[in-house]
Amino acid sequence: MNPTEPLKPNTNGMLRLFVYGTLKRGFWNHDRFCRGVLAVEDALVRGRLFETSSGIPVLQVPEEDILAVGTTNPLADVATQAHVTSRMSNPESTPDRLLKKGTGAPWGPVYGEILTFDDPVILLPAIDRLEGFHPGGPCLYRRVLVSEQAHGTVLPAWLYVVDTTGHCGFKPLPSGKWRS
């Protein structure tokens, strides 16, 4: 199955997840949580990257870039991603905000990797728990769908963001990279 194709009936589909920290290749959570990933590609999103006092990266993206908010249902989130992918591949129905985004400060490129996997029912809940994402309850992160770019192609991908309001202890990473 091609990750850019819309879902077909009776398939689980592919899920694309943008990672920028410990889930990247070579870091401690990749082998533990990302077994069975079908593809890993270098990618970027628009946002601001910070590091917490404990050395963990956190990402903030512009609210206007958020295409959807994650749920507790991995298959529904795969369907949402497929629907947005379909809309993005049809320029006549794609909202301008998907094609034209301001790049002015304080937003810039954040570099990471796109993980593509076909077993979201197994992998996504475990990664949600790791990231402290609990829809309907207190959350460390929110999982949101935004546009990412890999190899010149723009597609939607899920990622984890944090509200940095009031977190003045976070160290900005203006390079957009965490521990290259």
Q: What is the mean pLDDT of residues 125-143?
A: 87
What is the reported pLDDT for 80?
94
Q: What is the mean pLDDT of residues 120-133?
A: 91
| Tally of domains within the chain | 1
Please give the single-letter amino acid code of residue 119: D
Residue 105 token pair: 């400060």
Inform me whether the pLDDT recorded for 164 exceeds 50: yes
User: Does 78 fall in a domain?
Assistant: yes
User: Does 7 fall in a domain?
Assistant: no
Which residue range is the domain that position 137 belongs to? 15-172
What is the pTM for the complete model shown? 0.84
The pLDDT tens digits for 57-81 are 999 999 999 999 999 999 999 999 9
CATH number of the domain within which 163 lies:
3.10.490.10
Q: Which residues contact 125 (CB under 8 A, 6 or more apart)?
A: 72, 74
